[in-house]
């Protein structure tokens, strides 16, 4: 297969400082073993095929530093210059970008100038990989798209929608950390075939029997997301390859069963002859308008109100019982929640974990944060990002968002 001619521009300060706030161990691995993750990136998370790296540039402030993540080291600062030789040995051209002001170096400007210059080269670069979460790069992506070049963003955090929507591919921080650790990029779904059954051979009759049993035995309304997750684990990949037995979706497949007295809402199904509607049993209604306004621009997961506290509790349980690793934490929390009947994707859990870290309560902190601290830090981060994105919220709306996210009111 012909390889895609690719150019990689890495804003080291931006990427490393964001990663180390999420998972210090993997951030250091990213900086000490660039050759390993670069080799994996050659054939993973591609746009049009495996890459051939024609340009590898790392833009680094030689005097830059972050607080040292290991108190036992006896050092207060971890300097970026320590990692320079690793990138040189991996074939990168390291470009020193000393700080020009108190808070800003010239890395982003140098990256833009170099990438635009590359458009005029005799060699045609098929793909430009921009490793930065800085939305200042948005005009560059517009320029590259106008020249009909493919673009991939490697984002170390939750980048602005206006930035990521222009790219042909977004590599999230979760995917980047998995790439650094040599793990396969995981999907949100856990698909386990029924023991003794060939994969993908689950029948509509099996589906009918399982649903009828769950529906008849249920003491109250069934959460649709949790029910779908359980059925997928029991029936295997056949439900996906057949798109729920040809009905085009899980709810439509449920409706086809014509369960007696079955009533549906956005998130629940229940037996109207035995159960009250979910609203009467404490289930949340639709998201308030203030939360809906944040969903698209911030990428806020569209979880119902009652699902947020279990996520915080699962992450607190993980932090209290494990040495922190972000990819492990999201899998562990997802699987624990699934066992409790709460179906939440890894991407949603990773979103909360990142927000908690940037909100001031990282899970690797000692002592580890409890569920309330995680909820508070996450809500703080969501509202801070809303403010940075110029999404105007009144004090009442901010309190409404905190309430929806299951975070305590700081004014209470």
* Domain edge (last residue) among 180, 212, 239: 180
In angstroms, rounded to a whole number, what is the distance separating the alpha carbons of residues 130 and 135?
A: 11
* Domain edge (last residue) among 218, 241, 272: 272
Per the structure, how many domains does the chain have? 3
Are residue 246 and residue 331 in the same domain, yes or no?
no
Are residue 175 and residue 119 in the same domain, yes or no?
yes
* Domain edge (last residue) among 180, 196, 229: 180
For residue 144, being part of any structural domain is answered with: yes
Give pLDDT, residue 268.
Answer: 80
Are residue 244 and residue 318 in the same domain, yes or no?
no
| Host domain of residue 100 | 4-180
The candidate with the shortest Cα–Cα distance to 12, out of 121, 118, 90, is 90
In angstroms, rounded to a whole number, what is the distance separating the alpha carbons of residues 207 and 110?
A: 57
Paired with 150 in beta bridges are 127
Are residue 157 and residue 234 in the same domain, yes or no?
no
Are residue 361 and residue 268 in the same domain, yes or no?
no
Q: What is the DSSP string of 94-136?
A: EEE--BSSSS-BSHHHHHHHHHHHHHTSSSPPSEEEEE---GG
For residue 175, being part of any structural domain is answered with: yes
Give the contacts of 261 (CB within 8 A, at least 6 positions apart): 271, 272, 273, 274
Give pLDDT, residue 266.
Answer: 65
Give pLDDT, residue 232.
Answer: 73
Tokens standing for residue 319: 């932090």
A 10 A CB-CB count for 180 gives 23
Give the CATH number of the domain where residue 129 resides. Answer: 3.40.50.1010
Are residue 262 and residue 311 in the same domain, yes or no?
no
One digit per residue, the tens of pLDDT, for the chain of length 412 reads 689 999 999 999 999 999 999 999 999 999 999 999 999 999 988 888 899 999 999 999 989 999 998 878 888 999 999 999 999 999 999 999 987 766 666 888 999 999 999 999 999 999 999 999 888 888 999 999 999 999 999 988 877 666 777 888 889 888 899 899 987 764 443 333 333 333 445 688 888 888 998 888 887 888 776 677 677 767 776 776 777 888 877 888 898 999 999 988 766 888 989 888 765 444 445 788 899 888 878 888 888 888 899 999 999 999 999 999 998 999 999 889 888 878 788 888 999 999 999 999 999 999 999 999 999 999 999 999 999 888 999 999 999 999 999 999 887 6
Are residue 52 and residue 101 in the same domain, yes or no?
yes
Are residue 157 and residue 302 in the same domain, yes or no?
no
In angstroms, rounded to a whole number, what is the distance separating the alpha carbons of residues 156 and 73?
A: 25
């Amino acid at each position: 297969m012909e390889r895609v001619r690719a150019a990689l521009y890495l804003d080291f300060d931006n990427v490393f400082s964001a990663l180390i706030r999420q998972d210090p161990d993997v951030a250091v691995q990213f900086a000490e073993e660039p050759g390993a993750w670069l080799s994996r990136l050659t054939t993973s998370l591609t746009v049009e095929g495996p890459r051939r790296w024609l340009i590898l540039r790392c833009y680094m402030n030689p005097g830059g530093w972050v607080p040292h993540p290991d108190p036992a080291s006896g050092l207060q600062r971890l300097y970026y210059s320590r990692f320079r030789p690793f990138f040189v040995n991996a074939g990168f051209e390291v470009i020193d970008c000393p700080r020009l002001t108190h808070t800003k170096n010239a890395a982003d400007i140098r990256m833009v100038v170099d990438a635009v210059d590359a458009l005029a080269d005799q060699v045609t670069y098929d793909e430009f990989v921009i490793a930065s979460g800085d939305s200042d790069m948005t005009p560059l992506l517009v320029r590259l798209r106008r020249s009909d070049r493919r673009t991939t963003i490697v984002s170390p955090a939750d980048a602005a929608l206006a930035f990521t929507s222009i790219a042909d591919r977004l590599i999230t921080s979760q995917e980047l950390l998995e790439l650094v650790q040599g793990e396969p990029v995981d999907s949100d779904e856990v698909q386990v075939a029924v023991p003794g059954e060939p994969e993908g051979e689950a029948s509509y009759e099996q589906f009918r029997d399982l649903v009828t049993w769950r529906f008849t035995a249920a003491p109250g309304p069934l959460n649709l997301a949790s029910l779908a997750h359980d059925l997928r684990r029991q029936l295997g990949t056949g439900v996906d390859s057949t798109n729920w037995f040809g009905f085009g979706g899980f709810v439509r497949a449920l409706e086809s069963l014509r369960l007696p007295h079955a009533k549906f809402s956005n998130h629940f199904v229940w037996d109207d002859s035995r159960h009250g509607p979910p609203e009467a049993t404490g289930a949340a209604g639709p998201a308030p308008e203030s939360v809906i306004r944040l969903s698209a621009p911030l990428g806020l997961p569209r979880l119902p109100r009652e699902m947020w506290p279990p996520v915080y509790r699962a992450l607190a349980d993980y932090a209290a019982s494990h040495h922190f690793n972000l990819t492990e934490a999201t899998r562990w929390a997802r699987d624990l929640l699934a066992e409790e009947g709460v179906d939440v994707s890894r991407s949603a859990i990773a979103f909360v974990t990142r927000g908690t870290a940037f909100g001031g309560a990282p899970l690797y902190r000692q002592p580890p944060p409890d569920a309330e601290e995680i909820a508070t830090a996450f809500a703080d981060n969501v509202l801070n990002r809303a403010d940075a994105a110029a999404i105007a919220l009144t004090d009442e709306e901010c309190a409404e968002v905190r309430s929806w996210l299951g975070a305590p009111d700081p004014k209470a």
